[in-house]
Structure formats: structure tokens, C-alpha cells
Amino acid sequence: MTTLFRRSSSLARLATTHIDTNVCPLSRSLRRSIARTAYHPASTIRTYSTVKPGDPKDGKNLNANTGGKQVTRDGSRPGKPARGFESLYSDAGPLSHRGASDAKQQTDSPQMSMLTKEEQEALDSLLSTIRKGLPASDANAVEKSFEEFKRKGIPSEVREVMENLKNRPLDIASAAKLVSWTGRLAREQASKRIAEESKGFVGPKSGEEKQGKKEKSKGDDKKKPGEMNFKEFTAKLDTGTFLATAFVAYLLYRTVMPSENSKDITFQEFKTTFFDKGLVDKLTVINRHRVRVDLHREATGRMYPESPAQHGNFRYYFSIGSVEAFERQLEDVQNSLGIPSSERIPVSYVNETGWINVLMPLAPTILFVLSIYWFSRRAGGGGASGSSGIFGIGKSKAKKFNHETEVQVRFKDVAGMDEAKQEIMEFVSFLKTPDQYQRLGAKIPRGALLSGPPGTGKTLLAKATAGESQVPFFSISGSEFVEIFVGVGASRVRDLFQNARKNAPCIIFIDEIDAVGKARGKGGFSGGNDEREGTLNQILTEMDGFNTTEQVVVLAGTNRPDVLDQALLRPGRFDRHIAIDRPTTEGRKQVFLVHLGKIVTSEDMDHLTGRLAALTPGFSGADIANCVNEAALIAARTSADKVTMTHFEQAIERVIGGLEKKSLVLNPEEKRTVAYHEAGHAICGWFFKYADPLLKVSIIPRGRGTLGYAQYLPQGDAYLMNVNQLMDRMAMTLAGRVSEELHFDTVTSGASDDFNKVTRMATAMVTKWGMSSKIGYLFYEDDQQQQLHKPFSEATAQNIDSEVRRIIDDAYKQCRDLLTEKKKEIGLVAEELLSKEVIGRDDLVRILGKRPFDENKEFSKYFDGTGGKSAPPPPPQELIDPPPVGGGPNVPTPGVAIQRIWDRRGDLSS
């Protein structure tokens, strides 16, 4: 028995097969042979309902009157429709039969009944249908069983039940008999198959069996020789079995409840065809508007041999206007036929509720439940841990990457952050060779926090760590923990860590951890029960919960490490803090090199990467990747064979400045102002020692509201700036406005951004960098929250104001002196710009002569002698808007901050 249950899949299939064989063919022949098989010589035909069928008196009466032939009350011969009601007997009519069936063969054996030819054919047709839906192996099993039935037949008892079903509805006893026989047959078949298989199973022969043995031997090597070889089977219902069972159930249903088991007739038809002939047994008024006619089946069968009315479930119906009218009509008819009141047709009244009527009140509830289910599935869709729907809401949404197939990133793909790679390498070696650390009693850091501006490669580095370690990688964003339901975040964290532990060794990467890891009690957290606080607490708990041998490493990425809760950063949680800044020139070269690997170009790689790196100060890895891709797209658009330097430069320009706005046409006066404004900047950049020389200036309007832009070549990656450099840069920034003043009667709003930069620089010099003798060596945080309560006195505030003003005035004077001296040169540059709209470094060399200071060697290598084809624009807006200048643990050094401010200068947007 146990073996049988182990083989439940086969059993189910075999059971299905038996049911098929028992039911399907019979159901078909059954319907076809209803009329014939239901015809048994009945002893009598009832005359009226009060006389029971088979009453010999009625039969005698009829036979006596007709000489032994069956006649009706009106004297017409049975088997022929009354005039005007032929349609009732036609093929489509209510009394038509549905095909004759052959006489079935009787079995040789008293227990088994052989299948008729028709039944065998039905079996074959069912098999061909099943074959389409089942896998070949399953279909073969079904076929074998079918063959067996064809050969041996079905038990006579089953046959008996099926026969009975033709005349009366399925009762519980018959159903039980059927089920018990079907089960018995299924078991017999199953045990027979098992016996056959175990007989043939003497040792692994086929490749499949060998493989099976190999796999088994892994877990069970101790099997003794001679021990029985039991094959284990998983208990599961496959789709094929399910479909076949459903199909068979449908057939059984159709057998018991044929769809055409009723026919509507008129009162007139009822009267002439049945009532007048004494065939009506009883009438039932349903819901006061419909009457069901129950006939004497045997009598009807004799009179109308082809009528379906002999079938147990078949009924005629007719409609009535009202119960009163119907009763009157019936009484009249019975009176006219002279039926004594004691023998009148009984009429009963019922109220029946159809399935539809039962379901209708439930429809809104069902719809509601279904829609909630649907919405929850949509909301929870895409859960990588296989969870979806409302029941999977607490499941983690982390995407799991398979290290063998999906995480193909390696450290070589992450360019320009050698120190960060070095730091994180330790995690790789821990995940690869944990023994080396555990042997010496070392505790491995639990996690590392990767912080830095967007697109600098934090996720990439985490992926590379997983790729190098060859372990699974769970990636999730902090915001994915947060849901409107309280407790969901914490539950997702639990689920994530649980999954990770199951897959250890592995790496979890939580991107944008600041979404849930903000310092508690500060902005964002409203109270002790805040959902995010709960989520953070769960992260803290889970990270504590690892034991030292659990090889689960948690990496997290954030752009705002300063807002994180200190508890997250303490040793034992995110032990390592790895700051990843935008790449330096050398870093950019390497990032370009990585991304240029897939690009078709014939440029000299060294020169190309060097030049592109010089053109893209302040770019992150993601910007660089975007530029390279954009260049390839531009080249493809122009049907070029390969990507050239011009394509790259256009791409950089497009990425930063946006698309050229051809539709935005400046009027000549505006254009002139822009040209003189830019020329002022260019002259200062050329003649101030510490300013940056111009690379390119354009007065073509672009997206993002810019009327033009200029790019200046920084003197390298500066991290510190002295007062002279700052003054020169401020003077150069003011040059646009000064040039306007010198050349026009009035000034424009175009310099507002320049003033913003200058003010920020001067303020930082005074309040942070100790560059004002009057304020001294003080540092005042540039904190928004201190707007109302300044950390300095009113007198200090006035001093700061006056010092900032003095510095800017100095810069202005320095600028004005130079531009007054070089007024003619400004004119030359501006006119050149007006005529060409875009001028480059070479144009300046031509107009102004060589710059009178030593150039940065690295840059001149890439820009001198190239025909001034470069097109470097300012870095993107979001990159340039730096955090408060200077100070703070995560704020770049002053030099870098200024560098960024400087990078954006030249933008003429209002």
C-alpha cells in the first residue's frame, strides 16, 4: 500500500484512465442509445395519473380496444406524431432521438463486460485528445491502460451502474459503487505496473537509471547488496492528470445531466401530444410562471419510441400567464375529456432558485475579493523571492543574482578607485577563504558602507565584490523596505536576512540605505513607532544577529553618509566606511578605457582617453559611461564606420549642455551681449595667472535654459587653493558683467549666476577658510537650520558682510583694471564669437597670442596642435551644485569644492 501511495502520480493517472474508460465511452453511447435501451415491453400504458404505471387494468383496456395494438385515447396510432406536431418528432424536435447505438457485446466472463465497438472508438478519440495535452511518457501510460480495458473490458457491476444511469439520476449508492470500482481498478493497474517494473529492475542499465543511482548514492551509500531496490516517487498531481480528471469529471457530469434535458413546448402541444393521450403523470408549477410536465416514461416510450422523454432526466416545460388562468384552462380540458375528479392530474407548486439566482447576491462579494486579490498581486508583483500578492507583502523584494550566470562584474570592470577596491578586497578573501581568518581568531568585518556622489560606482563595486567572491548577491534599495503598512519593513528585513543566511556565503547590498537608516529622532522620524524606525531597528538587530562564522557580508550604498544613524556605523555593523568620490583625471582615463572597450574606434587609445578625461572634469563614472554610449549613438546616426573624437566631443557637449535649441533664436542685441560677456571671461582666463584658460565658448542656446556656455581648462585636480588663485578666479567670474559695463550703456541679468558663485567663494573665505584678518580663524557652519539663530553676534555678522563685500570689490577692481586695459582684445574675441558662434582655444591663441604663463603639461599634451577641435562643456548642473562649501566630514576639501563651482562657470543661464 505504501508503495502504491508513493506512486500516487501514476495512480492518479491510472485512476483517471479507468474513469475515462468507464465513463467516457459509455456516456457517448448512452446518449445515442437512450431511446432504444429505455424501451422495455411494459405491461401497461397508464391512462391517468392516479393509476400507477404498469397497472394491468389499463393495459388490458387499451389492448382490448385496439386489438392488442397500442392506441391512444384519441385513437391515433402510437409512434406517429399528431397532426401539426411533427416537429416534435423531427431530428431537431423534442421527441427526436440522438442516434442509435449498436447492441453491446456481452462478456465471456461473468464479471467483465467487453467494450462495444463504439465505446472503443470513443476511447481512441479520448486518447488522441489526451495525447495533445500530456507529456509523451504520461500519454503512453494512459494508452497502456486503455489497451488493457479494451482487452479485458470493464466490470459488469460498473456496466450495470452505467445502464441504470440512463433511466434514473445518479443516486449515492451508484456513485459510491462507481467510485469504489474505479479506485479498485486503478489500484489493480498500479500494482500490476509496479510489479512489472520491479521485475525488470535488476540493476541500473539505462543512462537515466545510472544517473539516478549516482545521485542516490550520494546520500545513501549504505544500501546492502540484495536489499530491495525501491524506487521513490514524489507525490504530486501533475497538470496532465489534473486536466484529464477534470475532463472525465465533465463527461460524467454530461452523462448524468445531459445539457439537452428539457424542452419548451406550448400548452397546445402539451395538450394534444401528451395530455389527450393520457401520458401525463403530474404537473409542477414552478415560480408561478412555468409548468414542468412529468410523463409516464414507459407509456411515452411505447407510444413515441424515439422520444427523449423516456430518459430519466428529460422534462417538458411550458409557460403560463398566471396560475389562475392555467388552473382554469386545465380544468376545462379535463372537463372536456370527462376525467373524473378523483383521477385528475395532480398539480404541485414550487419555488425554485437557479444557481444564477443563488450566486447573484454573492457576486459583489466575489468581485470584491477577486479585485483585492488582483490588486495585491499587481502591487506585490516582481518579488524576486517568489512572493507576490497580499500574502507576500512582508517578503523581501531583494533581487537575487546568481554569481555563476548573472553577476559577471569583476574588479577589472571597476576603474579608477584602487583604494576602495583594496579595502573591499578583504571581504572577497574572507568569503573565499574564511579559514585563514578564523584560524587566527580574527573577526571579519560585517559590512562596509560605500558613500559618495551618485553614479560613482558604488553598486558596481558591490557587484564586483560578489562577482569576485563567486557568491550569490542580494540587491535591494532602502526604499523597497518601506510600505504603508506598519511592520512590513521590519518583516522584509527579517526575510532578506533569513534568505541570505540560507544562501551563505553571500553578499547583501542595500542601496540608498539613507531611506531607512536616517538618524533616529532627527528629521523624518516622527515618533518611537515610526515604520522606518522599526525597519532600521530590525536591520541593526539582524546585523548583530550574525555569528562570526556566518559568511554574510552586508554592503550599503548612500549619497548621504552624514544623515545615517550612528548605530549603523558602529564597529560590528558597517565596520568599514569606503568613500568613493568622483574620479580624478587619471581615474577618468581608466573609466573611459573600460567603457571604450566595446566601442569601435580607430583613435589612439592613450590620446583619446587622456583628452576625454581632460574634457570631463567633475564627471562621475555613470556620466562617462553615458558619454561613451552617446558618442556611439551619434556615430551610428550619421552612419559612420567608427566613432571618432568629434563624436565623443559632441556627446560630451550634448550630455552636459543638452540638445542645441535651434528654435530659440536670440535677437542680435542679446547675442552681442552674450558674446561680450563671454569674451570678458575668456580674456581674464587668458591673462590671469591662476585663472583657467578657455577651451571653448559657444553662444548657441541649448537645453536647460542656457543661452550659451563656456568651458575652461582646469589646471589639474586641485585640492587646495590659495588666496591668489581664489582672487583670480573671482575676478574672472565677474568678468562677464564688467565687460558688459565697459561695452554697453546698460547691463543684463545674465551675470546672476556668476554673482552667486563669487559670493559663495568670498563667504567661504571669510567664514570657513580663515582668509579675512578682520574675522580671524573662525569656522561658521553654513547650516540651513541656523538661519534664524546665527552662531555669531550681530557685530560679527556685520563684519562678515563687510569682509565679503571687500573681497568681492577687490576682485572686481582687479578684473576691471585688466579688462579696461584689454578692451580692444575683448572686442576682437567677441566679434569672432559673433561671426562663428563657437570659438576654441586655437582661436584665442590666434587672436591673443600664446598665453603668457606656463600651461599644465598634462593638458597641453592633449590640446595643443589639435586644431582647437575640442568641445568641452561645463559639467552637469546637479554635479556642480555642491554641498555647503568646505567643512564637514563628507564635504570635499575646499579645493575640490571650488573646483566644482569653477567648473560650472560660464553658464549664462539666468
Ligand X SMILES: Nc1ncnc2c1ncn2[C@@H]1O[C@H](COP(=O)(O)OP(=O)(O)OP(=O)(O)O)[C@@H](O)[C@H]1O
* Of 36-44, 101-109, 412-420, 608-616: span binding ligand X (CB under 6 A): 412-420
Query: Of 805-864, which residues contact ligand X (CB under 6 A)?
Result: none
Distance CA 738, CA 816 (A): 6
Say whether residue 876 binds ligand X (CB under 6 A): no
Return the residue of 59, 94, 455, 714 that touches ligand X, per CB under 6 A.
455
The least CB distance from residue 889 to ligand X, in Å, is 18
Distances (CA, A) of 325 to 285, 292, 306, 330: 12, 16, 33, 9
> Grid coordinates standing for 749?
541679468
Min separation Cβ 527 and ligand X, Å: 29
| Residues in region 525-554 near ligand X by CB under 6 A | none
Taking CB under 6 A as the criterion, the residue among 22, 272, 459, 715 binding ligand X is: 459
Q: Which of 278, 447, 457, 714 binds ligand X (CB under 6 A)?
A: 457
Q: Which is nearer to ligand X, 268 or 479 (CB)?
A: 479
CA distance 20 to 668: 90
CA–CA gap between residue 899 and residue 725 (Å, rounded): 11
**Looking at beta carbons only, is 258 or 416 nearer to ligand X?**
416
What's the helix, strand, coil split of the chain in %, to 5? 55, 10, 40
Contacts with ligand X by CB under 6 A: the residue count is 19
Least CB distance from residue 420 to ligand X, whole Å?
Answer: 9
- Give min distance, CB of 578 to ligand X, in A: 11
417: contact with ligand X by CB under 6 A: yes
Q: Which is nearer to ligand X, 457 or 534 (CB)?
A: 457
- List 243, 425, 605, 622, residue binding ligand X (CB under 6 A): 622
Instruction: Using alpha carbons, list the distances in angstroms from residue 859 to 48, 725, 848.
Output: 118, 19, 19
**Footprint of ligand X on residues 50-109 (CB under 6 A)?**
none
Among 511, 533, 649, 728, binds ligand X (CB under 6 A): 511
- To the nearest whole angstrom, how small is the minimum distance from the Cβ of residue 408 to ligand X? 12
Q: Figure out which of the listed residues 278, 617, 621, 873 binds ligand X, where binding follows CB under 6 A.
A: 621
Report, in Å, the least distance between residue 455 CB and ligand X: 5
Which span (453-461, 711-719, 822-830, 856-864) binds ligand X, by CB under 6 A? Answer: 453-461
In 3D, which of 512, 535, 515, 499 has the Cα closest to residue 399?
Answer: 499
Q: For strand 399-401 and strand 347-350, is the pairing parallel, antiparallel, or unpaired? A: unpaired
Give yes or no for a contact between 270 and 293, defined as CB atoms under 8 angstroms apart: yes
The catalytically annotated residue of 512, 531, 542, 678 is 678
Q: At 113, is the secondary structure helix, strand, or coil? A: strand
534 vs 875, beta carbon nearer ligand X: 875
Q: How far is the CB of 419 from ligand X (least distance, A)?
A: 12
CB of 506 to ligand X, least distance (A): 19
Nearest CA-CA partner of 314 in 291, 292, 299 = 292
Q: The C-alpha cell of 580 is what?
A: 568613493
Let me know the angle formed at the C-alpha of 848 by 843 and 849, rounded to the nearest 5 degrees: 95
Q: Does 625 bind ligand X (CB under 6 A)?
A: yes
Among 277, 311, 395, 458, binds ligand X (CB under 6 A): 458
Please give the distance of CA 846 from its chain centroid, rounded to a whole number: 60
CB 461, min distance to ligand X, A: 7
Please tell me the distance from the alpha carbon of residue 609 to that of residue 417, in angstroms, as a whole number: 17
User: For ligand X, which is the closer residue by CB, 190 or 460?
Assistant: 460
Give the CA dihedral 726, 730, 732, 736, nearest 10 degrees: 170
Residue with cell 400507477: 52
Stretch that binds ligand X, among 137-145, 256-264, 620-628, 886-894 (CB under 6 A): 620-628
Q: Of 415, 476, 764, 807, which lies in the binding site for ligand X, with binding defined by CB under 6 A?
A: 415
Q: If binding is defined by CB under 6 A, does position 456 make contact with ligand X?
A: yes
Amino acid, res. 674: V
By CB under 6 A, the residues from 729 to 748 that bind ligand X are none
**Interface stretch with ligand X, choices 333-341, 355-363, 455-463, 828-836 (CB under 6 A):** 455-463
Within 8 A by CB and 6+ apart from 122, the residues are: 24, 25, 28, 29
| 584 is an interface residue for ligand X by CB under 6 A | no
Give the residue among 414, 449, 411, 413 at the shortest CA–CA distance from 579.
Answer: 449
Give the cell for residue 734.
Answer: 565677474
- Cα 38 from chain centre: 59
> Does residue 609 touch ligand X according to CB under 6 A?
no
- Residue number with CB closer to ligand X (593 or 834): 593
Query: Taking the complex as a whole, how short is the minimal distance between the CB of residue 588 and ligand X, in angstroms?
Result: 9
Catalytic residue flag (residue 327): no
CB of 592 to ligand X, least distance (A): 9
Length in residues, the chain: 910
Q: Which is nearer to ligand X, 265 or 513 (CB)?
A: 513
Which range, of 7-15, 102-110, 384-392, 621-629, touches ligand X by CB under 6 A?
621-629
Which span (149-157, 451-459, 489-497, 699-707) binds ligand X, by CB under 6 A? Answer: 451-459
Q: SS3 for 777?
A: coil
Q: Which is nearer to ligand X, 7 or 595 (CB)?
A: 595
Q: By CB under 6 A, tell whether 414 contacts ligand X.
A: yes
Contact assessment for residue 55 and residue 277, using Cβ atoms and an 8 Å cutoff: no
- Smaller CB separation from ligand X, 294 or 511: 511
Site mask, ligand X, residues 370-409, x = CB under 6 A?
----------------------------------------
Give, as ranges, the residues between 555 and 574 that touch ligand X (CB under 6 A): 557, 559
Among 14, 170, 591, 627, interactor with ligand X by CB under 6 A:
591
Q: Which stretch binds ligand X (CB under 6 A): 93-101, 306-314, 454-462, 771-779?
A: 454-462
Nearer to ligand X, 314 or 473 (CB): 473
Question: Which of residues 25, 416, 658, 894 is near ligand X by CB under 6 A?
Answer: 416
Residue 517 interacting with ligand X (CB under 6 A): no
- The span of 164-172, 186-194, 452-460, 637-645 binding ligand X (CB under 6 A) equals 452-460
Other beta carbons within 10 Å of 193: 18
Distance, CA of 539 to CA of 561 (rounded, Å): 16
The rounded distance, in Å, linking the Cα atoms of 554 and 424 is 12
579 binds ligand X (CB under 6 A): no
Bridge partners (DSSP) of residue 577 are: 449
* Beta partners for residue 712, in sequence order: 694
Q: How far apart are CA 363 and CA 806, in angstroms?
A: 80
Angle formed at CA 756 by CA 751 and CA 757, multiple of 5 degrees: 100
Three-state secondary structure string covering 811-842? HHHHHHHHHHHCHHHHHHHHHHHHHHCEEEHH
- The helix (H) or strand (E) run that includes residue 469 is helix 458-469
Look at the alpha carbons of 299, 304, 310, 315 in this order and tell me if their dihedral is positive or negative: negative
Give the residue nearest to ligand X (CB). 621
Amino acid at 548: T
Nearest to 47 by CA among 388, 476, 339, 394: 339
Please report how close the Cβ of residue 582 comes to ligand X at its closest, in angstroms.
9
**Distance in Å, CB of 507 to ligand X, minimum:** 14
Report the candidate in 652, 692, 700, 691 with the shortest Cα–Cα distance to residue 833.
700
- Would strands 315-319 and 473-477 be described as parallel, antiparallel, or unpaired? unpaired
Q: What residues make contact with ligand X under the rule CB under 6 A?
A: 414-417, 454-460, 511, 557, 559, 591, 594, 621-622, 625
Residues recognised as catalytic: 678
